[in-house]
Every structure is written in C-alpha cells, then in structure tokens.
Structure 1
C-alpha cells in the first residue's frame, strides 16, 4: 500500500515539476544533490571507491571534487526525469541538441543497434533519440520493482515511437526487431552478473562486461551506433551525441568485442568524467576468488 502511494506521489511531483522552467528544476536537483552529498551514505562511498579504482593517480582533493560534482549530477538526473518523461515535445526540442555523425533519418539505414552508455544524461538521450530517428525503434529496459511506476516509466520512455521490451525477453525480441529493420536501443555497460558476460579490462581492472552487443550484431547483421546523452553546462539542457558505427565489429571474439566497448568508454569518460554513473557498483562481480571492492 505504502509503495503504491509513494509511487503515485512521486509521479505527481514529477508531473508538477515538468510544467516549471527547466532551469529552476535543474537547479533544484543540483541543490538537492549537494545537500545529500553532505550526509555520509553507501552511495557516496561507492562513488569514491569507483573513482579511486579508475583514477588512482588523482589527489584526494580532486577525487573529492569530482565525487561531489557527480553526486549532484546523479540526484539532479532523477529530478530532471520530470522534464524528460512529461515535458512537452516543444520543450524538449529546445533543450536537446542533436550532434550526430550519421543521418538518423536515413530510410535505408541498415539493421542498427543504438548503444547507449550510463552517463547521467542517458535518460534524456534515450527518450529523444526516438524522436530524432523519425521512425519506430525498439528499446530494452530494466523493469522497476514498483509495477505502477514501471508502467508509467515505460510509457514515458517510449512516447516518441519506441517499442519497449524487458531485458528478460531481450534475445528473442531484439532479433525480431532487427529482422524488421527496426533500430534497437540498449545499454550494456553495467554489471548484470556473470551470465552472458566476460571479464575484460576497464581502466585496467578486470570487469564483468556483457557480451550481448557483439552477439546481437553478429546474428542480426547489425551495425553498432554508440550514443551518449550529455548534460550541457550552465543549465542549458542536453546534447545527444551519436557516433559513427564501429568498424570491424563484431570481431567474432566475445572478449575482443566486450573490450571494444570498455575502450570506447575509457576514451569518452575523461571528457565529462563527473557525468559517468559512478554511483553504480560497476565492479560488483569479481573473478572467482577475488574479494569485493565494496
């Protein structure tokens, strides 16, 4: 009962925030993130562990600065889902800059996997890329525990023409979408356990990494278009950055293909290091016999 009530109140708040000016909502989220960072928490600890693992050369002062900036971005991203889920199309078109190295409206686009990465702007990028494609696409999502909230989130994420499917149904559904030449959006840079994963380096650390992208690309004869949703400075909105398709991918070797994804991230993260999703336990699953980092 309390879970359903909390979910409804949360959605009502997001819908209310969606009608307010974006700059106000963004600053509200930023301030809330700053406030919550002052309170010792498990998530703050995870951020520091991740940054220390990936950037051991940093000073304590720099790590503290980036950790706080990231925490502010992370909390702000949840508040800004109000705009991303419920803001008008006109509002979103003013807020999202599309910077694509390919023609997203090309009617002859081959079977395509749109590979999103977990920067704090991924929600804005994932919602708006449906609009930028000007055609129906498919998208995988991780279901939420609250069923009512999950249904609303699914509708909001697919409101510009995305067909949504749970990760649990991914293999069968993705291959059908690719056969229909429907672009498919998915994210693979999180730790989902050892099933369908391999351990390859990420910032020099053996990291449990999904192999699904290479396998889907191989079986579906699909190109892979990486994209990143970036938060612009000074509360100006977002940039949807779409890169050229990866050459010579897939290679046919799961480890090489998984490493390709992590290497791409290692190139992109330093540009906007405070925006990568450091609050996630990216190194949760360890090779057999290794102790937990967390």
Structure 2
C-alpha cells in the first residue's frame, strides 16, 4: 500500500509465493474451484458442510445466540436455534461462492445479482449527487458492492488482514470492478475526497465502535451504540444516503439486491435523530433477511452505563 494513496495495492508481489503462504494458496485454489461451479451443484454441498461448521464454531455461535436472543426477545428458543442454523448455512454458501466475484464474468454477476430500485440512484446521479449506501454487515455485502460498482463509480474501506496473501486476494476481489479499497487508517477525509470526486461508497453503521461519540438508540429489541457521522459526511460531500438490502434466494440460486429511497436529510438533523434513522434503516435491512446477517459479530458490545456486558 502506498503511503500517499492510502488504499490497498492490487499488484502481485513475488513475496506472496513464500512457502509460509502455501496453505493459503491451497485454500484460495479450493475457493476458486467452488466459485467456478454452478450454484445448483455448489449450494447442496454448502448445506452439508454447514452441519460440520455448526459443530466446530462454538464461540461464534454463542455470540450469535446472545445477539438474537437480545434483539428478538419475542422469539422462542426453537426459533432462535433455527435462525442460527440458517445463518451458518448462509455463511458457508456465501463463502464457497464468493470467488466467483473475481473469476466469473460481468454477465454472470448480473445474472446472479438481480438489481431493483436503481431508479433512486439514477435520480441522485442526475441531480449531481454521489450516493452513500447504508448496509449493515450481511453475508452478501461483497455481492452488493461489486454489483453496484458495475453501474456507478465506487470505492470502499476495509480492515487489513494479517495474512498478506489473503489480504491481496480479498482486495483484488473487492476492487475487481475498478474501485479502490482504502485501509481504515485513511479515515473519513479519504471518503470525503472520494465523494467530491463523484465516487460513491458503502457505510456500515452497525459496527460497535465504542462509547466515545456514540449515541445509544433503540435497535430491534434493545438499544445500541451508534456513531452518527454519515449525515455530516453526506452534507459536506453533497451526497444522498440510501439503505440497501440484499438476500440470497436458494431456490432461484441468485441474490436480490434492492436500493431503497434516500433517507431525508431532515431525519438526520442532530446526533440522536441521525442515530435513530441509521438504526431504523439497519433494522429494515436485517428484518428482510434475518438469517443472512452476521450475527456472530459483537455488535452489542458497548452497553449503557449500569448494564452488564452481554458477552
């Protein structure tokens, strides 16, 4: 990565052939093979593998159970366990397919990801506005980003992985349609500069970034620490803020991606109002496909003063 650019370098380095990466290369090869397989053949294999994963990933499942129980207090134990099973299945299905975003054609991506509601983006673009897409951590987020990148210029921001080879492969995939992938260290200023250069991007408002500057706001069946910065970013960057939902249809073997109408700037006046608007958008996206959200993340780690930790 260049110090000047602050985004990931997509070029291949000879150091990635070092023997310490050979196991990673084998893993990448396996993912590429799965990515080339037709979905009707790959998906049943993923469902079988998910049964094994359920027996191995005990800690993430425990976090998911806490999140689901807290966010959906009205659901029975059986309903929660069913959601966890479906969630792991969705994870494995997405993981095995994901390399297709790099190794398959644009026509294939358009077939695999059906896009709805893009008229909202078209209207924003015709008005001279870039778009900040609001999407929480869902399994299909990479599909959403790259499918939209086929239609308009976009950038993204990601956390660096400790394995340099996996880092290179993952960011080659994420930037396969030409959008630069910034490291988190680049900060908000880098994204603001991209808005001014007419590039759009995703903002993930569901991540728990701690108590500092966050606002506790209702979220599903609980409250959540939410960082209200996107409203100011949109205002300075002359951007519109649009929630996006995506879900995988196992029967049709495709993703349905929907861009929802822009959030009114009036609804994001003030930190409390913005946090409420962001959480409301996230709730809509999650409730559309509750089994496809990354429930293993500690999104409720920061709790109001006096409340016991959940994890």
Question: Judging changes above 3 Å, is the alpha-carbon distance between structure 1 residues 105 and 287 closer, same or farther for their aligned structure 2 residues?
Answer: same
Q: In structure 2, which of residues 88, 104, 107 is the aligned counterpart of residue 87 of structure 1?
A: 104
Deviations 1:33-52 (A, max 9, x none): 22221446001111111111
* Aligned partner (choices 117, 125, 132) of residue 100 of structure 1: 117
Alignment partners' CA distance in 2, 1:171 and 1:117: 18
Distance 1:192 1:25 in 2: 36
C-alpha separation between the residues in 2 aligned to 1:245 and 1:176? 21
2:276 is aligned with 1:259: yes
**What is aligned with 2:137?**
118
Q: TM-score, normalised by structure 2?
A: 0.86
Question: 2 CA distance for matches of 1:235 and 1:33?
Answer: 20
Q: CA deviation at 1:147?
A: 2.0
Deviation of 1:252 after TM superposition, in Å, equals 3.1
What SS does structure 2 have at the residue aligned with 1:162?
coil
Change (3 A) 1:195 1:168: farther
| Partner of residue 45, structure 2 | 28
1:214 maps to which of 228, 231, 235: 231
Q: Shift in Å at residue 129 of structure 1?
A: 1.0
- With normalisation by structure 1, the TM-score equals 0.90
Query: Is the counterpart of residue 159 in structure 1 residue 176 in structure 2?
Result: yes
Indicate the residue corresponding to 1:57 in structure 2.
74
Q: How many residues align?
A: 292
Match of 2:197 among 170, 177, 180: 180
Contact kept? 1:202, 1:266, Cα under 8 Å: yes
Specify every segment of 5 or more residues in structure 2 that has no aligned partner in the other structure, as ranges: 1-17
> Cα offset for 1:53?
0.4
1:277 paired to 2:294:
yes
Any gaps of 5 or more consecutive residues in structure 1? none
